[in-house]
């Protein structure tokens, strides 16, 4: 798993497209060889070429790409010492353009985030692109790096309920925010309202899932027969089935502590009496029709 953005970041490595400002103190002819006084630092700076190289007077063309600011400063200082007594050189990046991260999916402004010399994690990238859409998953985000995909516990990061890592981003990363379709729990059976319940960044308990579905049907629901079906974690494993008896006090307490997982299925059984009534209701039209035929033939 990628390192956390709360750690100490590595030194920034200069890359193609970055713009450097190189200042040689007391030597304006080197700092600003064209003598322009209105040029901004970016337009007056040294553009790092596609091959990672730049040019500087008395140093010539040299490799800056893949180097740190300190390394470039030391190289220039060393070469200038031949023509300048005790050169005082300062180097800084005035335009960061080389290190980019793609942010895709359910964010308000999908696009590119440029990395600089500050610590920037997944949360900072999402915030820079405008945050999440209403239909975005609040539970999981994907970080794709070097062809490998990592699941990031977005719910833990947003809610703060559990320790979660805000991954430190690197050039070439892709941050993808899926929609909330896979964050649903399906509640079926004898309820006031059947359907899907979307899980947010907070934990969802069985009691909350039933409540959001309008609760158990007062007439037909068997409160001692609530089942939760959970898909296996790995291919080839068996699904898990949990039975909760809501007719007992301990069952009610358990339902309030039972944490749902995405794609769980909750099924509320019908009472034996309601099942009997259903069967009778289905057979009654047939029985009535047979009786009417018998009456006509007599």
Per residue in 199-220, pLDDT (tens digit) is 988 899 999 999 999 999 888 8
Q: What is the pLDDT of residue 180?
A: 93
Q: What is the pLDDT of residue 70?
A: 95
Nearest residue to 44 via CA among 36, 54, 56:
36
Q: Is 277 left (phi over 0), alpha (psi -120 to 50) or beta?
A: alpha
Quote the pTM value.
0.77
What whole-number distance in Å separates Cα of residue 130 and Cα of residue 144?
A: 20
The answer to whether residue 41 is domain-embedded is yes
The answer to whether residue 288 is domain-embedded is no
Q: What is the pLDDT of residue 5?
A: 63
Are 187 and 263 found together in one domain?
Answer: yes
Find the CATH number of the domain harbouring 49: 3.30.1950.10
Q: What is the pLDDT of residue 10?
A: 77
Residues 6+ apart with CB under 8 A from 246: 216, 223, 224, 226, 252, 255
The answer to whether residue 4 is domain-embedded is no
Q: What is the pLDDT of residue 38?
A: 54
The answer to whether residue 32 is domain-embedded is yes
The answer to whether residue 109 is domain-embedded is yes
The answer to whether residue 283 is domain-embedded is no
- Tell me what the pLDDT averaged over the chain comes to: 86
Q: What is the pLDDT of residue 279?
A: 44
**264-273, pLDDT tens digit by residue?**
999 999 886 4
The answer to whether residue 293 is domain-embedded is no
Q: What is the pLDDT of residue 1?
A: 59
If you average pLDDT over residues 28-48, what whole number do you get? 77
Cβ burial, residue 184 (10 Å; 0-12/13-18/19+): middle
Q: What is the pLDDT of residue 296?
A: 46
Are 76 and 32 found together in one domain?
Answer: yes
Q: What is the pLDDT of residue 286?
A: 47
User: How many angstroms separate the Cα of 47 from the Cα of each of 19, 54, 200?
Assistant: 5, 7, 46
Has residue 72 got a pLDDT over 90? yes
Residues 6+ apart with CB under 8 A from 297: none
Q: Which domain holds residue 31?
A: 19-95
Boundary of a domain, candidates 178, 203, 234? 178
**235-252, pLDDT tens digit by residue?**
888 889 999 999 999 999
Both tokens of residue 224? 């001692």
Count: domains in the chain: 3
Pairing of strands 184-189, 195-198: antiparallel
Find the CATH number of the domain harbouring 233: 3.10.560.10
**79-105, pLDDT tens digit by residue?**
999 999 999 999 999 999 999 999 999
What size, in residues, is the chain? 298
Has residue 17 got a pLDDT over 50? yes
Q: What is the pLDDT of residue 75?
A: 95
| DSSP 8-state class, residue 271 | P
Are 190 and 212 found together in one domain?
Answer: yes
Rg of the Cα atoms in the chain: 33
């Amino acid at each position: 798993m990628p390192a956390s953005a709360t750690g100490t970041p590595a030194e920034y490595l200069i890359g193609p497209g970055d713009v450097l400002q190189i200042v040689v103190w007391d030597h304006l002819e080197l700092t600003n060889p064209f003598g322009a006084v209105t040029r901004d630092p970016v337009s007056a700076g040294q553009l790092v070429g596609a091959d990672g190289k730049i040019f500087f007077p008395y140093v010539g063309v040299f490799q800056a790409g893949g180097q740190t600011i300190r390394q470039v400063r030391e190289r220039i200082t060393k070469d200038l010492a031949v023509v300048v007594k005790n050169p005082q050189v300062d180097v800084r990046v005035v335009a960061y353009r080389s290190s980019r991260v793609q942010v895709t999916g359910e964010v308000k402004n999908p696009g590119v985030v440029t990395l600089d010399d500050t610590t920037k994690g997944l949360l900072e990238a999402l915030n820079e692109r405008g945050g999440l859409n209403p239909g975005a998953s609040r539970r999981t985000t994907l970080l794709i790096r070097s062809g490998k995909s990592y699941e990031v516990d977005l719910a833990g990061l947003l809610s703060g309920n559990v320790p979660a890592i805000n991954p430190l981003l690197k050039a070439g990363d892709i941050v993808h925010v899926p929609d909330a379709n896979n964050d649903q729990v399906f509640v079926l059976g004898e309820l006031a309202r059947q359907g899907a319940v979307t899980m947010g960044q907070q934990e969802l308990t069985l009691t909350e899932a039933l409540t959001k579905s309008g609760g158990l049907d007062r007439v037909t629901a068997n409160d001692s027969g609530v089942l939760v079906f959970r898909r296996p974690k790995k291919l080839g494993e068996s699904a898990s089935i949990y039975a909760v008896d809501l007719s007992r006090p301990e069952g009610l307490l358990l339902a309030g502590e039972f944490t749902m997982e995405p794609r769980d299925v909750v099924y509320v059984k019908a009472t034996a009496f309601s099942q009997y009534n259903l069967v009778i209701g289905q057979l009654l039209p047939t029985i009535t029709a047979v009786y009417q035929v018998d009456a006509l033939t007599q």
